[in-house]
A and B are shown apart, each in its own frame.
Chain A
Amino acid sequence: MTTIYAARKIITMNPARPAVTHVAVRDGRILGAGSLDELTGFGEYTLDEQFADKVLMPGMVEGHCHAVEGKWWRYVYCGFHDRMDPHGKVWSGLSSIEEVISRLQENEATLQDPTAALTGWAIDPIYYADKKITREQLDRVSTTRPVGIMHASGHIMNVNSKALELADYLRAGIEHDGVPLGDDGLPTGELKGPDVMFPVGRQAGFDDNMLEFDEPGLIDFARLCVRTGVTTATDLAAKLDDEMVEMGIRVTARDDFPVRIMSLRFHHGVTPAELIEHAKALRSRSTDQFRLGKIKIIADGSIQGFSARIRWPGYFNGAPNGLWYIAPEQMLAIYEMALKEDLQVHTHTNGDEATDLVLDTLQVALKKHPNANHRFTIQHGQLINAAQYRRMASLNMCVNHFANHHFYWGDEHYNITVGPERAERMNACRTALDNGIPLAIHSDAPVTPLSPLFTAWCAVTRQTNSGRTQGEHEKITIDEALYAITLGAAYTLNMDDEIGSIEAGKLADFAVLEDDPTSVSAQALKDVKVWGTVQSGRVFAASEI
């Protein structure tokens, strides 16, 4: 059974024939891309013209996100910017704390059980002149049920008095940097850092696996993928116990499940040897739609949380250097064993000192276990400088930059965390490409919204929330950005032989667009509408998902 799709334009990412009009698909794979005439040579076919007025491009690849976003949409959206949920509803952004409270109040009124928790997410007080939110404000939503809101950064939570009381925090005598106290000596309801967020979050409706997807959440996440043109998405840090793996394999194997998930094993909580063994076992269970067997390491914290490890001269505001989340010896042990076993490692670094450690460590490990095609990738790498890119090139490393960060927190980095000069070279996509580093760009959803075209816009315009262009020199072109969200990301996942371009032999993964992203202005890139996707030859319309 061969289907030939006709389209207004097909952007292939194949430089030999960059734009064509037809693509032939058989058994979920691409027979060829070209003119109808050329493709008829494969024999009998059905011509499908439903995309005749659409533009196809390779299915987009989100190389760093977390499938848990689907689950988070069961909480109340409290973000500053408009954001689309899995069912296509666009939730309007909230422009003041008062609006946040009203939205929570509206939601509260619909709850039957007077003791059930009310949970919100994605609030970001930096847009409210950094005003602190207090438990008294959230008490206006309810005094009988626990109320909690997770911040957009994922590092801070605000709760009401009832939630504090249930967690036994509403008392004098608490001494913890992460629990600020009011004039009455009692916690204000702001909770900073996982140590203090988890115990109260549990009372406020966040479950113990705040960062792990569940079955309905995975299905909702897949809906978001269809709406944003994504056909392969990562779930970048998971524990992947047997139960999760079975569920992931089962759910993604459904005929109507529209996205390929690549889930990486997080290094934490096991020894390097156990991690390697687990990753090998996972690799052998990998399926077409649920890919397993890669490793994620987190080396340091975040820049806006001042927990990233940064080089001299340190933080712009003088904050002390951040924290290591892994010991150098452990990183070396993991790298060495992974290189030996052909397991790919993605390492999160935010600060440039953490990047230095990765480069030093990989250089040592490669001497012991040379591995020409390792494709070790730095995730985020927000402060990588020119010299570091040059070293990355000589070590054959890839990078996946957090382009969206510029828009959401670029102003804060400029003014507070690292200052103007370094803020302008954060997520330096131009310098990465100029040094020949394979480049992907990402959203880190749910931290920022899943939408590769928006991410591409961020990398192309480098515009911050206040409207400034931050780092003119580090802009990349639309073509480069589109490559980064398709073949570029596929390369970092070692899947570029299967996905990322529309050419003979590859999986039939397409993003179906209403407009041609290569012919719109840079400003309009984020507004190109997505009709839906084709994934492994199956058609998924956003309007019906």
Chain B
Amino acid sequence: MTNPVPVTIIGGFLGSGKTTLVNHLLRHANGVRLAVLVNDFGDLPIDADLIEGQDGDVINLSGGCVCCSYGDDLSLSLQTLQEQASLPDHIFIEASGVALPGAIGKSLSLLRAYRLEGIVVLADATTVQSMAAEKYVGDTIQRQLDDADLIVLNKLDLVCDEQAQSNRVWLDGCFPHTPYIDSVHSTVNADVFFDIKRKMTNCKPSAHSHTQDTLQVDHASSLFTSLSVSVDHMVDAKWLASQLADKRNMLVRAKGFVLDTDNQIKTIQVVGRRWSVTPAPIGVQAGLVCIAQAESLSEENIRSLCKPDAQQII
């Protein structure tokens, strides 16, 4: 059995920018073969130059990507995808405007070929607070945000600093464990969504060294920083993963290989507040890469978490 395909669920109410985000990701796939599952084609204006052809419910896109509409049976679409000759590298499911992304996430546990990577929910900075109090859909919007591992506070270009800050205070109050990032026009750096794998093979951390670099950005407000830290000592992997997923670090993503207390090398993965620890592939080198919005990354925090005696101190 091959490794399960990572699946990211993109949630958020109508108008929050899900469709724009999906298109943005398709444009920045950089060789990652994506499958995008949307509720229906009508809401997905895929740029004509990306489309190579349509085959029933599947639109073939350039770069080996595909887009499928799942209508009222997501499980069937996922199963159909599973039976294809070559599985995609990563799947994005665009949840419908009133769907609860957490429920979609749970249905993934029923299919062995997939692994829930994370739930990203968009919040429209111009309306989210009033919509969350709206008579009919207020509780739906709150439940969607409550399901999120990571919240994208979108359309920040359309609000003043004061309103942006009021949104952050509101998010902190309502969803105290969920990190959020800023965005305009749904342009979030693709590295926030894709596996850090490529990055890890590029950097070879030496003992107790660290590197920090700024990722290529599409817009000034979506500056992201990645931080590589080496973790050569034995560490309680679950403890470290859960600490990295703590909101105070505001990490959007982390991936690493560490020597766990059972003397096995483990893979740590973090998307927002979601974390997992699984057996690592053979031959990997210990180390950790973290990605966060540039101004929110506390290098000091991360580094102190990765110190040998961190668990005793914190």
Contacts and interface: CB of A to CB of B under 8 A. Distances in A.
A176 B69 contact: no
Contact of A327 (B14, B112, B139): B14
A179 B42 contact: no
Interface in B1-30: 13-15
Contact of A353 (B42, B43, B76, B136): B136
Nearest to A328: B136
A326 B136 contact: no
Contacts of A257: none
Interface string A170-214: 000111111100000000000000111011000000001000000
A420 B139 CA distance: 26
A274 B42 contact: yes
A195 B75 contact: yes
Contacts of A268: 71-72
Interface residues of B, number: 30
B48 interface: no
Interface string A241-275: 00000000000000000000000000011110110
A328 B137 contact: yes
Interface string B57-80: 000000000000101111110010
A286 interface: no
B139 A321 contact: yes
A324 B137 contact: yes
A44 interface: no
B106 interface: yes
B236 interface: no
A176 B109 contact: yes
Given A173-B109, A175-B109, A324 B136 contact: yes
A323 interface: yes
Given A199-B79, A269-B40, A174 B72 contact: no
Interface in A147-183: 168-169, 173-179
A196 B7 CA distance: 18
B313 interface: no
B71 A176 contact: no
B69, B75, B97: most-surrounded residue (chain A CB, <10 A): B75
Contacts of B40: 269-271, 274
B107 interface: yes
Contacts of B112: 168
Interface string A33-57: 0000000000000000000000000
Interface in B117-169: 136-137, 139-140
A269 B137 contact: no
Given A195-B103, A198-B75, A274-B42, A327 B110 contact: no
Contacts of B43: 271
A170 to B, nearest CB: 12
A84 interface: no
B109 A324 contact: no
A177 B109 CA distance: 11
A196 B111 CA distance: 10
A268 B96 CA distance: 11
Contacts of A176: 106-107, 109-110
Contacts of A270: 40, 42
A329 interface: yes
B106 A177 contact: yes
Interface in B92-119: 96-98, 100, 103, 106-107, 109-112
B110 A325 contact: no
Contacts of A169: 110
B20 to A, nearest CB: 16
A323 B71 contact: no
A208 to B, nearest CB: 7
A199 B100 contact: no
A541 interface: no
Contact of B110 (A174, A274, A329): A174
Nearest to A324: B98
A357 interface: yes
A428 B93 CA distance: 41
A3 to B, nearest CB: 47
B75 A327 contact: no
Nearest to A196: B110
A274 B15 CA distance: 19
A173 B278 CA distance: 14
Contact of B74 (A175, A195, A326): A195
A101 B13 CA distance: 46
Nearest to B140: A324
Given A270-B40, A271-B42, A327-B14, A194 B98 contact: no
A269 B103 contact: no
Contact of B76 (A199, A271, A274, A326): A199
Given A321-B139, A326-B98, A357-B136, A198 B109 contact: no
Nearest to A357: B136
A325 B137 CA distance: 11
Given A269-B71, A327-B14, A327-B97, A195 B107 contact: yes
Contacts of B73: 194, 198, 208
A206 to B, nearest CB: 12
A174 B106 CA distance: 9
Nearest to A274: B42
B232 to A, nearest CB: 32
A176 B104 CA distance: 10
Contacts of A178: 106
Nearest to A325: B98
Contacts of A356: 136
7 contacts: A199-B110, A268-B72, A309-B136, A324-B136, A325-B98, A328-B137, A356-B136
User: Sorted from nearest, which 9 A-B pairs have the closest CB atoms?
Assistant: A271-B42, A269-B71, A324-B98, A327-B97, A195-B107, A176-B106, A175-B109, A199-B75, A327-B98
Given A208-B76, A328-B136, 5 more contacts: A169-B110, A179-B110, A194-B72, A195-B110, A268-B72
Interface of B: 13-15, 39-40, 42-43, 69, 71-76, 79, 96-98, 100, 103, 106-107, 109-112, 136-137, 139-140
